[in-house]
Structure 1
Amino acid sequence: MEAFRKIDDIVEKSIDRYNVIKTVIESVDLSDLGLSVYYPKFTRVKGVYCAIDGSKNVQNLGDVYLIVAKAVKVIGEVTLGKKVINKDPVFAVEIEDDYMGEDTVSNDSIRLMIYLESQLLGTCDECDYVLLDGPIVDPPIIEEKGGKQSIPSLKELASMRSQHVVSLLEKGKTVLGIAKRFSERFLVSLLKERGYLKDTDYREKMVVDSLLSRFVGEGITGIGVIEWDKVSREVSELDKLMSAYEAYKEHSGGKLKIASVYVKASKIGVPSRVDIAYINNYDLEKVLSLIATWEVKDRAELNLLTVMADALSTINNQEVKQFREYYTIKTVEKLKDKDYILSNFVLRKKI
């Protein structure tokens, strides 16, 4: 079958890419890339930590969409021991007419989720270290246009997030974004720029994982640092990210800066990109020490607090059900014409 032949071709191409990367990585001189290997200065840093994450869920109710967004803040205290405090989650709900279309509704749901996360960013004065589960500039890929005027635009979110981050930095806090899912080709473009690769048609995560595996042992290891102000915008993925970054800088009055380091906890661990927010300078070894303080022991994840925030922010079926059924009940309650019923969330005339 033609479909199987296409899959065979894709597999063959993937293997070829992997072999190219494997050969390239073995010959890479980190100093030639302007990068270095870093390790934590400490494995335990005292203080109060906040981890923030959000999620969203879209339900098709027949002639409308129900958007549910949720965000949580998990607090971890490190003194002589460790204590984790789970704060109550925050929710937001919106209803959109189905003529808006799935793409518009999806964009709105993402922006609503980021809005809730950003609101929680403004409540972190009690914390010394703020860990976002995901990048700081998030996300650079969704469309600006939306259906609901009540949901902040990308520009409004950039203003809100950047000002919250700068406010925390000015109070002496540390703000990090820990992204397990990343595709922006910082390292791929750097390897092409230095002549190691002919093009940029390679997966960033595969390159990062291969490079980190050369140096990682049985503890937290980082490779960096990539300062965003020095990044080339020639690669299309980077151009989108840099445009978003420039918007964040503009809304922060030029104060906010970001640097990234790639981190792994062990050879079998999942690579992550850690984005460091700063105004004047940053301490990379301390950043790795903060991550090591909450290192997950089974090495399947990187940081316990962001793992907990990720799990607790996920919208479960019961939460969706309560909002969906409330919508149904209120609609039936307000419906004066007894000749109509709600069937599968669609208004239908009784037969």
Structure 2
Amino acid sequence: MPLSYEEIKRILRKIEFDKTEPKLLTELVNKAIEIGDKEIRRINKMRQKSERLFNFLRDKDILIMLKPNVVLMDFLRKVAVGAVDGSFQVLSGSGGQWFAFFGVSMILAKNGFTVNPEVNVDGIIETIKCVDEAEAKRISSEIMMWSETKALRRLCEKMIGHNESYILIDGPIVDPPLLKDPSYINFRTSTIKFCINNNISVIGFVKRIIRNEFIKFLQLNFGEQLDLASFSSDIDLLSGILHQALSQFGYPVYTKPIHLLDFLEKSDPTYEIYSLYENNGIKIYHSYYKPTLRSKIYRIELASISTLTDNELKEVFDRILSLIRYIWTLPGMNEPLPIILAHEKCNIRQGAAEKLYYEVITRSLTEEEAYLWL
């Protein structure tokens, strides 16, 4: 039976460990034991602090249980759902020529829940002329974002005609590189507004949480009552709190949805880009969501063309998260099926890009020409 990717990685780690100088390993192992002891003490302190914070946030209604609602679930099982995602790989040619390989996927379940939704995939290869890999990757990232937004528009056009539909984006609604090109922002926001005006909600499903907006939200609203200095990021803060919440509630849990620009300072790096989206008519609300004790924490984002009250936000996020958790997340999984499929179907792995480059692109060259490219 073939080894899994994780098993291969474990074998490689062991090989690299065994190849390291024994004396160096001895020193590092001793240091690692010391650091491990310190980490245990630090984690115990963090756990105690997380318990106090959990009690405080629970009492302030910042933590919300996601209980199943049978009537709502029966309705959501029939609504149209789609998902989009994109990926790319960049390889170097010669003379400043780079080759970018793109994959963009669209998943569509037009008639509601199914384990076999419609899958569409686009593959693109672009040549890029630039000096270094960083620039090639920046340009490729922008191309991918344009392609993803075009896919969002095409998917929306296929879903028009339903009273209530949802498109899940694998990632944030405001793109990770924070592209500030006015033409791109105008195109993306107009696409999102086109979706919303056709009763299609655009939802961001964010798997990697790297910022600290929730900490800033708590500091603004409860700064004098909370000591958050020891937490460096939202994931650092919420890991213990949401685990405690799940243990006590017995249901998936999410945080009170918030509007980012209500508490970000203008000096914050993300303030400008979110302001640009808002100036183009798109507000972003988000919440942190943990479905099971062993799962990651996800950020769920909602694009809106109107200002929503706290009660409206709770109602909307209850629907979104019930759709994600109770309809589209299969047993044993923590992420909804459309997101999993969108990611897997568009994913261009490094090895696949290299095979295309070395065995297809360069095959048409003479031996002398190919030598210059390798």
Shorter-chain TM-score category?
0.7 to 0.9
- 3-state SS of 2:148 partner: helix
Which of residues 293, 314, 320 is equivalent to 1:267?
293
Deviations 1:25-53 (A, max 9, x none): 21121167672414154445121111111
Match of 2:18 in 1: none
* 1:137 matched to 2:163: no
1:247 aligned partner: 276
The code of the aligned residue for 1:297 comes to P
Contact 1:38–1:284 under 8 Å retained in 2: no
Deviations 1:148-174 (A, max 9, x none): xxxxx7433322211111111112111
Partner of 1:286: 319
Match of 2:57 in 1: 30
SS in 1 for 2:149: helix
Q: For the structure 1 residues 82 and 245, does the alpha-carbon distance in structure 2 shift closer, same or farther, using more than 3 Å as the test?
A: same
Higher strand share: 1
Aligned twin of 2:345: 312
CA-CA distance at 1:291 after TM superposition: 0.7
- Contact 2:185/2:277 (CA < 8 Å) preserved in 1? yes
Count the aligned residue pairs: 321
Cα distance in 2 for partners of 1:8, 1:191 equals: 35
What secondary structure sits across from 1:53 in the alignment?
Answer: strand
Percent of aligned positions that are identical: 19
2:16 alignment partner in structure 1: none
The equivalent position to 2:240 in structure 1, one of 199, 210, 213, is: 210
Q: How does 1:1-351 map to 2 (within 5 A)?
A: 4=28, 18-28=43-53, 29-30=56-57, 35-39=62-66, 41=69, 42-44=72-74, 45=76, 46-63=78-95, 64-79=97-112, 82-97=114-129, 100-123=131-154, 124-127=156-159, 128-140=165-177, 154-193=181-220, 194-195=223-224, 196-197=226-227, 199=229, 202-216=232-246, 219-233=251-265, 239-250=268-279, 252=280, 255-280=281-306, 281=308, 282=313, 283-292=316-325, 293-299=327-333, 301-316=334-349, 317-318=351-352, 321-322=355-356, 325-332=359-366, 340-343=368-371, 345-346=373-374
| Closer/same/farther in 2, CA of residues 9 and 257 from structure 1, 3 Å limit | farther
d(CA) in 1 for partners of 2:193, 2:250: 35
Whether the 8 Å CA contact 1:51–1:74 is kept in 2: the answer is yes
Q: Report the AA paired with residue 213 of structure 1.
A: H
Shift in Å, 1:108? 1.3
- Structure 1 residue aligned with 2:8: none
One-letter code aligned to 1:73: M
Indicate the SS of the match to 2:257.
Answer: strand
Q: CA RMSD in A?
A: 3.0
Q: Which residue of 2 aligns with 1:148?
A: none
Aligned-partner Cα distance in 1 for 2:34–2:63: 37
Preserved contact between residue 222 and residue 262 of structure 1 (Cα < 8 Å): yes
Q: Which amino acid aligns with 2:141?
A: I
Whole-angstrom CA distance in 2 between matches of 1:14 and 1:67 = 42
CA distance in 1, matches of 2:245, 2:213: 19
Contiguous gaps of at least 5 residues in structure 2: 1-23, 160-164
Q: Indicate conservation of the 8 Å contact 1:218/1:265, yes or no.
A: no
With over 3 angstroms needed to count, the CA separation of the structure-2 counterparts of 1:321 and 1:155, relative to structure 1, is farther
For residues 183 and 37 of structure 2, the distance between their equivalents in structure 1, rounded to whole angstroms, comes to: 45
* Separation in structure 1 between the aligned mates of residue 182 and residue 47 of structure 2, nearest angstrom: 40
Following the alignment from structure 1 to structure 2, what is the Cα–Cα distance between the partners of residues 314 and 132?
14
Q: Find the aligned partners of 1:104 and 1:33 in 2 and give their Cα distance.
A: 47
Which amino acid is 2:239 matched to?
Answer: D
The change in CA–CA distance for 1:200 and 1:27 in structure 2 (over 3 A counts) is closer
* Between structures 1 and 2, the one with greater helix share: 2
Given the two structures, how large is their TM-score scaled by the length of structure 1?
A: 0.80
Give 3-state SS (helix, strand or coil) of 1:176's partner: strand
Q: Secondary structure at the match of 1:275?
A: strand
